[in-house]
Structure 1
Amino acid sequence: ANKRNRPDIAELSKQVKSLQSDLKASKGTLSGMSKEVKASAAQISALKKQINEMQESNATLAKSTDTLKKELQQMKAVLGSAADFDDRITSLEVAIKAIDAHRSQVNGRLEKLDKEVGSLLRAAPGA
């Protein structure tokens, strides 16, 4: 019986060694993936922080734009149609347009970052 089982035992030993080798490789892969997940989490956190900062900046710009628009309306009411004040009003309108353009760019960046965060969250293992 011992001679008959010896080849089976040898084969099973080879299979156990192969499985142990596979297990080590899997642990290495798992360790690498764990590092990638941690790096992705850190990246997501940084992107969320950027989004929050840009949202705050956007809110500040919106308030500035509203304030400038109100001041412009007040100036127009006070100044009437005086020619020398038209230049001031025009420069304020240009400033408002520039702020609106910047706010629009910030909104575009916010949307892009939001999409990137969404993609990272969907791509993160275990999400």
Structure 2
Amino acid sequence: MIRSIFKIIRRFPEQVFLFVFNSSIFAWLWPSGSDIADRIGVTAAWQEHVPAMQNFFGQNSQAIQGFFNHSVVMWLIGSMIIFGVIRFVKGIIKLGLFALIILLGVYLVMQNQEILSSFK
């Protein structure tokens, strides 16, 4: 079990760091956001500071409490998905550059075939 964890850490260091960082930050934010929403009273802040969210949620204060509680988890999952997509795109770009360099080498060899044949 420990070996497999260390293998994952060595293979995907960026994702592991992002997961640990996001988990620690959002573990702190989750109760803090809920406490802040409870202390200021969602209805008081509701009228003054977030009219666009009020239009989205309507007059349901339970919906906004649920949003505060679940947005942290969604951000963690979303950031991991975005990071995976970035890693995938990075791999495709590396593969494309590798293929471009190989094709450029083959093109230069074909262009200079007569110079290369003079070395025989």
Structures share a fold, TM > 0.5?
A: no
Question: The TM-score by the shorter chain falls in which range?
Answer: 0.3 to 0.5
TM-score by length of 1: 0.39
Larger Rg: 1
TM-score by length of 2: 0.41
